[in-house]
Structure 1
């Protein structure tokens, strides 16, 4: 076996494991978004939709709803920031991030009644922001876990470049999070309709299961799917 062939095999293995992980996380994110939407009437991870709905609510004079959505957007951003901090403060980045998300969803599930209260809603939004830090890229290609607009855009642009003659096909992986998200959303909608009081707890258990499954990955791969944080230290002022 040549060195180049061996490298190609290793890269294919890394890519396959990464995409399997992305599909699983996008699936549980889709389930969470569907359950959250059914129970609260608002998105818990689709911030583009919440931004548009907040603007419409402001124009209509529905200031309470607009404030709720704007606060959800800020909470989602805070969750992303917290996810990065959690991921880069642990050697088991993916496992730690997913366990944190599972705990948040479990707390929200234990606190909920027939509908999501404001604290439950924002806790789920925060968790959906946090989960994005579990996997940030696959072999250098950006990946979104709780939002697929960017993925579909990159997929469409890849089709355009392919038609123009470019033969790279790495853009095809962008369909993976979309497939995971849509299949998870369908499952979540069914779950929320069948067992509304237990739906979040089921999702929490699934996230924890994915966290455990991530530990089966070789240690050398666990940190490859996150961007490295370069900390610049400024000299002390005299």
Structure 2
């Protein structure tokens, strides 16, 4: 999927967006995540072991919302529309804008729900119909790929095949830095910027899809 400059740029932009949102969510939730469900799963297990049922319920709720968002994204992919990437990002932008609006009206719980679903949804942007896709809101897989492709490079394979996955990781970290700087200043209102980016990317992809369709016709 990271086989051309267009996909690499889009994946890095979306990974940076996810990092930005996750940095904000992490600070707001005090140690839970809005996109990194491995961390929430660990928190769930530890909370269950220690009998902290309320914390366990919170972690489980975040996981369920993320899965619901991922399922919604997959349904869009299964529509087989040539504009499915655009639709996914448009819905993501709407969820993020709704979350920012909910925060403005003092409904932080609803805001977090919208954010988590948006992050689950985003992972369908590069989904292969009927199968898996490229994880954009978590980078453990990308780092594994970096190590594996470095080994390939050291044994005579492509010298720089590992760089796209490293860029994906770096984009998420950079986005997280920006989100962590924004949150102390404007709280969850910082999500407005994430919504704007999602809408802008959706528009860019819609234009590109229309041009490709025009060339085919």
Does the pair score TM above 0.5?
yes
Distance across 2 between alignment mates of 1:209 and 1:168: 34
- Structure 1 match to 2:19: 30
Verify: 1:186 aligned to 2:213, yes or no.
no
Deviation larger for 169-178 or 22-31: 169-178
- Which of 77, 87, 107 pairs up with 2:98? 107
Distance across 2 between alignment mates of 1:91 and 1:218: 7
Q: Which has the larger radius of gyration?
A: 1
- Which of 138, 148, 162 pairs up with 1:171? 162
Distance across 2 between alignment mates of 1:219 and 1:157: 37
Larger helix share, 1 or 2:
2
Q: Residues 155 and 172 of structure 1 are in contact (CA less than 8 Å); yes or no, is this contact kept in structure 2?
A: yes
Distance across 2 between alignment mates of 1:221 and 1:126: 30
Distance across 2 between alignment mates of 1:116 and 1:57: 26
Q: How does 1:105-184 map to 2 (within 5 A)?
A: 105-112=96-103, 117-136=108-127, 143-167=134-158, 169-184=160-175
Q: How does 1:76-87 map to 2 (within 5 A)?
A: 76-87=66-77
Verify: 1:195 aligned to 2:186, yes or no.
yes
What is the TM-score when the length of structure 2 is the normalising length? 0.85
Q: Residues 114 and 196 of structure 1 are in contact (CA less than 8 Å); yes or no, is this contact kept in structure 2?
A: no
Offset at residue 136 of structure 1 (A)? 3.3
Q: Residues 39 and 116 of structure 1 are in contact (CA less than 8 Å); yes or no, is this contact kept in structure 2?
A: no
Distance across 1 between alignment mates of 2:126 and 2:162: 17
Offset at residue 221 of structure 1 (A)? 6.5
Distance across 1 between alignment mates of 2:161 and 2:138: 19
Q: Residues 144 and 177 of structure 1 are in contact (CA less than 8 Å); yes or no, is this contact kept in structure 2?
A: no
Q: Residues 155 and 175 of structure 1 are in contact (CA less than 8 Å); yes or no, is this contact kept in structure 2?
A: yes
CA offsets, 1:146-198, max 9 Å, x none?
A: 01000001111111232233336433321122121111111111111222142
What is the TM-score when the length of structure 1 is the normalising length? 0.78
